[in-house]
Amino acid sequence: MRIGVLALQGDFALHARALEKCGVEAVEVRKPSELDEVDGLIMPGGESTTLLKLIDAWDFAPALEKFHGRGRPIFGTCAGLIILAREVESPRQFSLGLIDVTVERNAYGRQRESFEASGVAKLDGGPIALEMVFIRAPRIRRVGPGVQVLAEHGGEPVMAREGRVLVATFHPELTDSTAVHRYFCELVSRSAIAP
């Protein structure tokens, strides 16, 4: 099993390291054609406006939509979530619409308002305690009927899944825990053997 990490911008190296801790080969994806070589994809945090410009410059949007259409799992954290969302607010901007959520950009404040929190995620093996790092994080303001909320902070969803698309407003790669990455790896593994 090979999982790609979109390596255009953001903290992709830390996601790759977390995948390697899970015993999975991590592949840095810099060109749309490289999506053909991976079974799943992580879209990391960073700056969503910059990430969108790079996605546009490299013509990644059609390739990402095709990747999703082939049933390949995608995990977006922070800016990656913004790119995957159905709707984006503050301000409105293009997104792929691959998960039925509405997100508000930078809703927790600027860089200096970044914070860490503890929470519980409802993953396959049951409730798991998580440390969550929020850096200029978006807020999930609306969750569609087909979306499963997997973790909350302050009564708001911070991790969710719809089908083979997983998103988080926080940065699991900035903690020592690999629980979230293991969950995604299991999702990719199940998708790889599904008909």
> What is the per-residue pLDDT across 46-64, written as a single tens digit (0 to 9) for each?
888 888 899 999 999 999 9
Q: Are 55 and 98 in contact (CB under 8 A)?
A: no
Domain of 60, CATH number, reads 3.40.50.880
Does the pLDDT value for residue 14 go beyond 60?
Answer: yes
Per the structure, the complete domain to which residue 168 belongs is given by 2-193
Does the pLDDT value for residue 195 go beyond 70?
Answer: no
Total domain count, the chain: 1
Confidence (pLDDT) at 115: 85
pTM for the whole thing?
0.94
Percent of the chain with pLDDT over 70: 95
Residues annotated as catalytic (active site), given as ranges: 78, 171, 173
Give the orientation angle of helix 179-193 with respect to helix 12-21, to 10 degrees: 70
Does the pLDDT value for residue 107 go beyond 80?
Answer: no
Q: How confident is the model at residue 135 (pLDDT cuts 50, 70, 90)?
A: confident
**Residue 111: CA atoms inside 13 Å, Cβ hemisphere, count?**
2
